[in-house]
Amino acid sequence: MSVPQTVGVRPARKRRAFSVARWLRTFGTLIGFLIIVAIFWQQRPTTFMTVTNWLNITQQVSILGVVAFTMTVVMVVGDFDLSVGTMASLVGIIAGTLFQNEQPVAVAVVAGLLAGALGGLINGFLVSYVGISAFVTTLGTMTIFGGLALYISGGTTIFGRVIPEAFGNFGREGLVLGSITIPNLTLLALAVLVLTWFILEQTVFGRRLYAIGGNREASRLAGVRVRFLRLLAFVVSGLGAAAAGLMLASRLASANPKQGDGLMLNAIAAVFLGMTMSEEGEPHVLGTLVGVLILGVLANGLTQLNIDSYIQQILTGGIIILAVTLSSLSRRGQ
List contacts with another protein (CB under 8 A): 1-9, 11-19, 22, 201-208, 210-211, 214-215, 217-225, 279-282, 333-334
CB of 21 to another protein, least distance (A): 9
CB of 159 to another protein, least distance (A): 44
Nearest-angstrom CA–CA distance, 64 and 192: 12
Output 9 or 106, the one with its CB closest to another protein. 9
CB of 226 to another protein, least distance (A): 9
Q: What is the dihedral of CA 320, 43, 59, 195, to 10 degrees?
A: 50
Output 22 or 258, the one with its CB closest to another protein. 22
State whether the Cα torsion 90-317-193-177 is positive or negative: negative
Output 15 or 161, the one with its CB closest to another protein. 15
Per the CB < 8 A criterion, the answer to whether 127 and 230 are in contact is yes
∠ Cα 178 183 186 (to 5°): 130
CB of 214 to another protein, least distance (A): 4
Output 35 or 207, the one with its CB closest to another protein. 207
Nearest-angstrom CA–CA distance, 301 and 116: 33
CB of 18 to another protein, least distance (A): 7
Kindly report the backbone phi and psi dihedral angles of residue 182, in degrees, each rounded to the nearest multiple of 5, phi listed first: -90, 120
DSSP 163: S
Output 160 or 333, the one with its CB closest to another protein. 333
Per the CB < 8 A criterion, the answer to whether 108 and 241 are in contact is no
